[in-house]
């Protein structure tokens, strides 16, 4: 068996890895399994987070190129997901779109990522949270998209409750931020999503055409609910608190931070100020239990892929729509331009690639996934794409395709434009009416990887700021 696997791996490497053999790439036509978590920061064993139990994702990482510097376009679900799904930057998605519509509102005729593969002969399926809650893109799928009915809570005392953002309504405050219910995996919607995707993977083995499947899990998004067995993997006393619980020094808090209103909208969560340490540790425990839950569900998909005999011809992608702050810089949630909110885990497993089991510091963005996957499969690229393919990084982990990664998040009438280079994170806040710069932030990762001190006003960095500001202007 090992020699047979080696043979197939070498063949696939020759087909997928040879940059001049586009015909070979198209002839190979690998499957693609694209898995998306929600609100997942880089707290995984593969990234050195030993306090998190993530054996299945760590195993996938050992078969993948692990990206240490992958970034979302915007640290909030809707624009991030619509961006990588469409191949457009958030600013191009359309000014009239909102949380109840998709990129199709202003771009009805472009091809989405799965749709492009469908148009080139792939059988496409979608499961769970791919775009925003309740959103679908029917033309992207060969069969109707699957999303189970929302099951936010499974504990008997919480059945039927729904986490609503509007904390001004008193009854909303009755909904807990987390629960540990002694239930099976499919008591929550993510478990149902995994079961449906497993069935589709099994059935795909009997099809002649390759498949392109996207599977989206809601967790570890709030509420932080997971079956009790995943909570039991942790000793709460050993769970670390945020290393840097205060806002960065020298920032204008009007733009840089927020009050964590969504997390504070749940039952028994303080409406302001720092979380008490005991509660903070309990929330982090809940979040990590959700990670372990997602990890188990990812493992079920990979096991099905292996059992069906399709693993050796399947590219697997695992990522998240954005990161998350668990008390870091006083913040709970995303909605910032900081490293912890904009950085995402990214594993790309290409069978036969020499970079499998290694990592790269090459800067990439989620909007780059569309052109990368298309090029891996020998497809031409649609004209509307705004990302860059990092295909060659997958075969040479030292290669670079970007000098910077761009993200943005707006607050209080200012557009926050952020770029991450090898050494710096620079954030420029521009008044949305006048375009004037109203605040700047600069973090020197060589000395301050936690982004705790804004050094934008320190004269020694004036030259860097001038260059970085010019770079920001090219990405706005």
- State the pLDDT at residue 6: 34
Is 2-403 CATH 3.40.720.10? yes
Contacts of 460 (CB under 8 A, 6+ apart): none
Indicate which residue of 107, 132, 258, 322 is catalytic.
132
Report the 10 Å Cβ neighbour count for 127. Answer: 26
pLDDT at 286: 98
Q: Which residues pair with 215 in a beta bridge?
A: 35, 127
Predicted local distance difference test score (pLDDT) of residue 160: 82
Of residues 434, 27, 414, the one with CA closest to residue 256: 414
CA atoms of 388 and 368, how far apart (whole Å): 5
Q: Which pLDDT score, from 0 to 100, does residue 19 have?
A: 45
Q: How many CB atoms lie within 10 A of CB 48?
A: 9
* Residue 370: C-alpha distances to residues 32, 34, 365, 448 (Å): 12, 11, 10, 33
Query: For residues 201 and 305, is the Cβ–Cβ distance under 8 A?
Result: yes
Q: Do residues 254 and 412 lie in contact, with contact meaning Cβ atoms separated by under 8 Å? A: yes
d(C-alpha 109, C-alpha 86), whole Å = 11
State residue 325's pLDDT score. Answer: 98
pLDDT value, residue 100: 73
- Look up 132 and say whether it is catalytic: yes
Q: Alpha-carbon distance 156 to 249, whole Å?
A: 45
What's the order of all strands across the beta sheet hosting 424-431? 405-411, 414-420, 424-431, 437-444
Query: What pLDDT score does 25 carry?
Result: 40
pLDDT for the residue numbered 476 = 86
Catalytic residue among 18, 51, 72, 77: 77
Domain boundaries, the chain: 2-403, 413-476
Q: Which residue has the tokens 């791919």?
A: 130
Q: Does CATH number 3.40.50.720 belong to domain 413-476?
A: no
Identify the bridge partners of residue 444 per DSSP, sorted by sequence position: 424
CB 12 within 8 A of CB 2: no
Q: Which residues of the chain have pLDDT under 70?
A: 1-27, 98-99, 164-173
Q: How many residues does the chain have?
A: 476
């Amino acid at each position: 068996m090992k020699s047979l696997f080696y043979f197939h791996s070498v063949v696939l490497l020759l087909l997928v890895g040879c940059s001049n053999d586009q015909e070979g790439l198209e002839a190979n036509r690998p499957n693609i399994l694209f898995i998306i978590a929600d609100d997942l920061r880089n707290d995984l064993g593969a990234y050195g987070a030993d306090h998190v139990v993530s054996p299945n994702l760590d195993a996938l990482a050992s078969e993948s190129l692990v990206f240490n510097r992958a970034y979302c376009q915007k640290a909030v679900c809707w624009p991030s997901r619509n961006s990588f799904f469409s191949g457009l930057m958030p600013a191009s998605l359309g000014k009239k779109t909102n949380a109840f519509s998709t990129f199709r509102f202003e771009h009805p005729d472009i091809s989405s990522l799965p749709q492009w593969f469908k148009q080139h002969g792939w059988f496409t399926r979608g499961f769970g949270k791919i775009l925003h809650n309740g959103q679908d893109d029917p033309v992207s799928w060969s069969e109707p998209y699957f999303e189970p009915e929302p099951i936010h809570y499974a504990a008997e005392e919480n059945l039927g409750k729904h986490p609503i953002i509007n904390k001004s309504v008193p009854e909303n405050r009755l909904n807990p931020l987390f629960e540990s219910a002694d239930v099976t995996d499919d008591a929550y919607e993510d478990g149902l999503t995994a079961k449906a995707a497993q069935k589709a993977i099994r059935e795909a083995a009997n099809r002649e055409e390759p498949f392109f499947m996207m599977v989206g899990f809601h967790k570890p998004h709030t509420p932080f609910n997971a079956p009790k067995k995943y909570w039991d993997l942790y000793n709460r006393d050993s769970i670390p608190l945020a290393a840097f619980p205060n806002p960065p020094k020298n920032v204008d808090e009007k733009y840089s931070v927020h009050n964590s209103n969504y997390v504070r909208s749940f039952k028994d969560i303080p409406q302001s100020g720092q979380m008490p340490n005991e509660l903070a540790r309990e929330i982090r425990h809940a979040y990590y239990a959700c990670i372990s839950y997602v990890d188990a569900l990812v493992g079920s998909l990979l096991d099905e892929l292996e059992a069906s005999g399709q693993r050796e011809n399947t590219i697997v992608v695992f990522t998240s729509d954005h990161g998350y702050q668990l008390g870091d810089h006083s913040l709970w949630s995303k909605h910032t331009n900081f490293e912890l909110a904009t950085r995402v885990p990214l594993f790309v497993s290409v069978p036969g690639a020499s970079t499998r089991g290694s990592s790269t510091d090459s800067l990439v963005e989620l909007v780059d996934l569309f052109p990368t996957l298309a090029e891996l499969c020998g497809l031409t690229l649609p004209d509307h794409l705004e990302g860059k393919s990092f295909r060659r990084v997958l075969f040479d982990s030292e290669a670079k395709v970007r000098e910077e990664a761009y993200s943005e998040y707006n607050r209080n009438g200012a557009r926050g434009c952020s770029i991450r280079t090898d050494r710096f994170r620079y954030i420029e806040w521009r008044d949305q009416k006048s375009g004037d710069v109203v605040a700047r932030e600069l973090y020197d990762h060589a000395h301050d990887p936690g982004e705790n001190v804004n050094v934008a006003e320190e004269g020694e960095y004036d030259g860097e700021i001038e260059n970085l500001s010019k770079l920001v202007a090219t990405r706005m």
